[in-house]
A and B are shown apart, each in its own frame.
Chain A
Amino acid sequence: MKLYEHQAKVIFKKTGIPVPKGKVVTSLEMVSEAFHDVGGKIVIKAQVLAGGRGKAGGIKAADTLADAKKICMSLLGSKLKGLEVKSLLFEERLDIAREYYLAIVNDRERSCPLAMLSMKGGMAIEEVAKEYPDQLAMQPIDILYGLEDYQIRANAFHLGVPFADLNPLVSILKRLYEVYRGNDAELTEINPLIVTQQEQLVAGDGRLNIDDNALFRHPEFKEYIEVGVEKEFKAKKGNAFVDLDGDIGVMCTGAGMTMTMMDQISAYGGRPADFMDVGWGMLEGAAEEGIKLLLAKGVKVILISTYSGGRTDIMAEKILEGLPRISNLNVPVVIRLQGKNEERAQELLSECQLPYVRTAETLDKAVALAVQISKGEVK
């Protein structure tokens, strides 16, 4: 899960990383108090989980309460980079002397954490990596020992970091590594880390993405989980759901199988409406929830197709049990179940009397049929 800037900054502060004075605002009624609390000249930052907020008009300066109110009226509830702005962060405005980029991320290839440091703060890191690869220092970290001061120093010297910034930079990057380890992060980033005219180092922005698989160790993040279609589906035993814009509702088990089904649909000239990996939930009736979700989305046909090491006979039972309970089911449902106990599964499907159920024996036959239905070539 991705935390918002203001949530990440709460954790930064707890870990000893300096952050600007700030207040979260979620309604116009809160503006006046927040403005006076932060005091003086402020910046107002839209809280959305996307980069490039400044360029998109999501970060604005305000010198007076009237300004602040005007900005809040235009930002709150608006869409920024396709995401609804539900909250704003009021922060003291800093006089910037220079900016750094700091991050700790998962290094898949080396199977370890990776620290990243650059003097090109404020730019998107992908851009820095592309335009100024020699100005981005990367330090693999041995997870048993952690990040050592000398490693950061060596990289800082290499980049030409001014001596005055050296010690505070070492301290902040080490604390960022604490944030990464202590919260099971996949990524945590300060971009920019601001050095003020008064020579203070402060986290200007904050990103913190938590490994969903480690949430069992971090019950404190539960309150941050937002409701939404994807989350609801997960809560109902589904594995993953991604909304796409085609008309063939796809339901599978396994991410690789689901993508393969989408690839096959596209190759046959059809358009997948979604990526839906039901996973083990297929044995527990999650298919029913998945179908409801697809119907609510509006699709021309539903394709349930997998080759599974889970018991496909039980999957068939659960699907056939669930279908009649869905009162608004008005599109054909193509079912292909292969894998463990497939003979029994196919028996159950062939005995099925439901008029909208079509069965297919193999992956390509199932996809071909679904594509034909979506184009109105067969019913």
Chain B
Amino acid sequence: MSILVNKDTRVVFQGITGKLGRYYSQQMIDYGTKVVAGVTPGKAGEIVNGVPVYNTIKEACKASAADCAVLFVPAPFTKDAFMECIDAGIPLVLCLTEGVPVQDMMIVKRRLMGEKTVLLGPNSPGIVTPGEFISGLMPKEAFISGKIGIVSRSGTLTYQTADILKQSGFGTSTCLGIGGDPIIGVGFVEVLSLFEKDPDTELVVLIGEIGGQGEETAASFIKEHMKTPVVSFVAGRSAPEGRTMGHAGAIISGGKGTYQSKEKAFTEAGVPVARIITDLPNLIRKKLNS
């Protein structure tokens, strides 16, 4: 078992005719993921990597029965792509695009109210169920099948974590990045509740970073609603306060979203926090044996 994606997930790939789109859709196909349609406006009728291309998401879904959209669309057009997917009623949308304006995302979140579409991203590295489904930037080298769920706010740390676990013999059930932007689709809480319901996920590794309140909210959810054990790592322990470290997610301001506040919240929820990322396997072993 797994969450959100598996071997039966059927993907429509938006932006498949671009350079990155061609490369990453081929990576998915090589892995065995079912990429059943592509979309690029004005390129209907073309075939890319053996996949038929359509003008609109609706046409593609109708022809291919896709239930997951992967978006490789430049930031200025991402809001439009989201709207198109929500309108087509696609159950799952993955978006890798970095640099989507915050106010665009506010409008998208408003549009999502009452809809069944689950949005992962923007600025998500993708989602992997090892041996069944790969997407986004996820390098297949990092993943083996197993019983640990990984959810991360940072892209690169998603696969770094999977690799550290793999070196210690731990495989993953599903591994996903929710994206590091200030406003995103699904957050930690939604993903944790899916892992909680998945009988094959024995433990969840949560990778957070400084800034925002997502980790604190996750900690209180874990405390109140989860039986599945969770261990965590929070990036930015050594970051000086008041400086923006890269993307907007990692801003600390006014004493909120600091490393200390996140560490405290997790500790109080019974979630061990790794001081350095390479300590994770030890924490997992301890937790599983306790």
Q: Which residues on A are within 8 Å of B, measured CB to CB? A: 106, 108-109, 111-113, 126, 129, 142-144, 181, 184, 186, 211-214, 216-217, 239-240, 242, 244, 252-260, 262-267, 272, 275, 277, 279, 306-310, 338-342, 362-364
Contacts and interface: CB of A to CB of B under 8 A. Distances in A.
Nearest to B277: A260
Contacts of B210: 259
Contacts of B213: 108-109
A363 B99 contact: no
B159 A256 contact: no
A17 B60 CA distance: 49
Q: For the complex of A and B, list the 8 residue pairs with the smallest distance between their C-beta atoms, beginning with the closest.
A: A256-B154, A309-B137, A255-B246, A254-B156, A257-B156, A340-B139, A214-B101, A266-B238
B138 interface: yes
Interface in B95-153: 98-107, 109-110, 125-126, 136-142, 152-153
A211 B102 contact: yes
Interface string B254-267: 10000000000000
Contact of B249 (A253, A255, A341): A255
B182 A108 contact: yes
Contacts of A310: 137
B246 A263 contact: no
24 contacts: A109-B213, A112-B106, A184-B103, A216-B76, A242-B245, A255-B246, A255-B247, A256-B153, A256-B154, A258-B245, A259-B236, A259-B246, A260-B160, A260-B233, A267-B276, A272-B238, A275-B239, A308-B137, A308-B159, A309-B139, A339-B159, A342-B141, A363-B164, A364-B276
Contact of A263 (B76, B110, B236, B247): B236
A102 to B, nearest CB: 18
Given A240-B246, A259-B245, A144 B276 contact: no
* Residue among B76, B157, B249, B276 facing the most chain A CB atoms (10 A cut-off): B276
B275 A211 contact: no
Nearest to A280: B98
Contact of A184 (B98, B101, B159): B101
A255 B208 CA distance: 12
Contacts of B105: 111
Nearest to A310: B137
A106 B160 contact: no
Interface in B179-234: 180, 182-183, 207, 209-210, 212-213, 217, 233
Interface of B: 75-76, 98-107, 109-110, 125-126, 136-142, 152-157, 159-160, 163-164, 167, 180, 182-183, 207, 209-210, 212-213, 217, 233, 235-240, 243-250, 254, 275-278
Given A240-B245, A266-B238, A310-B137, A108 B212 contact: yes
A71 B87 CA distance: 61
Contacts of B254: 126, 129
Given A108-B213, A240-B247, A256 B155 contact: yes
A100 to B, nearest CB: 20
A106 B213 CA distance: 13
Which secondary structure dominates where chain A touches chain B? mixed
Contacts of A263: 235-238, 276-277
Contacts of A339: 139, 141-142, 159
A279 B154 CA distance: 13
A300 to B, nearest CB: 18
Contacts of B140: 340
Contacts of A254: 154-157, 246
Given A108-B183, A256-B155, A256-B157, A144 B101 contact: no
Nearest to B159: A307
A57 B126 CA distance: 50
Given A257-B160, A309-B155, A277 B137 contact: no
Given A242-B243, A264-B276, A267-B275, A306 B238 contact: no
A82 to B, nearest CB: 11
A14 to B, nearest CB: 19
A207 B210 CA distance: 25
Given A126-B254, A184-B103, A217-B101, A338 B235 contact: no
Contacts of A126: 254
Nearest to B125: A309
A186 B250 CA distance: 15
